[in-house]
């Protein structure tokens, strides 16, 4: 008697297979916040400058939880709108969600050392020191 067992790989990405490490995020040019330290912050300033100059641009902000889970925020400016994607699916202990929104180009602003997207009635904090 012969019994065969087969497996097929799911086409959906499994982020638990290849973790998005701090080192990878920094190397990729992400703005990174991990355990009170920040990396590539000037990239966020450049993104804001490009919006002001009406130049297309995109930036990724990766924040790591205390347990090391990455939470990724992608911002892409197309000359008119900022597309916002918040992705916590790589954080195995978190809420496991993806949130997408669209904002006017002038919606991003800095207040002290924090960066926000205007979202009535509550603004969205996208980066802090």
pLDDT of residue 15 exceeding 60: no
Residues listed for the chain: 129
* pTM recorded for the entire structure: 0.81
Strand 31-34 and strand 57-64: pairing? parallel
Residue ranges per structural domain of the chain: 22-127
Q: For residues 81 and 17, which has the higher predicted lDDT (pLDDT)?
A: 81
Q: How confident is the model at residue 3 (pLDDT cuts 50, 70, 90)?
A: very low
Helix (H, G, I), strand (E, B) or coil at 53: coil
DSSP states along 90-115:
T-TTS---EEEEEEEGGGEEEETTEE
pLDDT of residue 110 exceeding 50: yes
| pLDDT per residue as tens digits for the range 39-74 | 999 999 999 999 999 999 999 999 999 999 999 999
CB atoms within 10 A of CB 94: 14
pLDDT of residue 5 exceeding 90: no
Q: How confident is the model at residue 120 (pLDDT cuts 50, 70, 90)?
A: low
Average pLDDT, the chain: 85
Burial code (b: 16+ CB inside 10 Å, e: under 16) for 33-65 equals: bbeeeebbbebbeebbebbeeeeebebbbbbbe
């Amino acid at each position: 008697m012969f019994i065969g067992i087969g497996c097929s790989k799911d086409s959906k990405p499994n982020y638990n297979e290849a973790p998005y490490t701090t080192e990878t995020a920094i190397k990729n040019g992400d703005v990174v916040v991990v355990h009170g330290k920040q990396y590539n912050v000037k990239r966020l300033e450049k993104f804001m400058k490009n919006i002001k100059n009406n130049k297309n641009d995109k930036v990724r902000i990766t924040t790591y939880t205390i347990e090391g889970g990455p939470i990724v925020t992608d911002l892409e400016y197309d000359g008119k709108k900022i597309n916002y994607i918040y992705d916590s699916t790589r954080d195995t202990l978190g809420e496991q969600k993806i949130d997408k929104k669209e904002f006017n180009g002038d919606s991003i602003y800095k207040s002290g050392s924090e960066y926000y997207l205007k979202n009535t009635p509550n603004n969205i904090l996208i980066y802090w020191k």
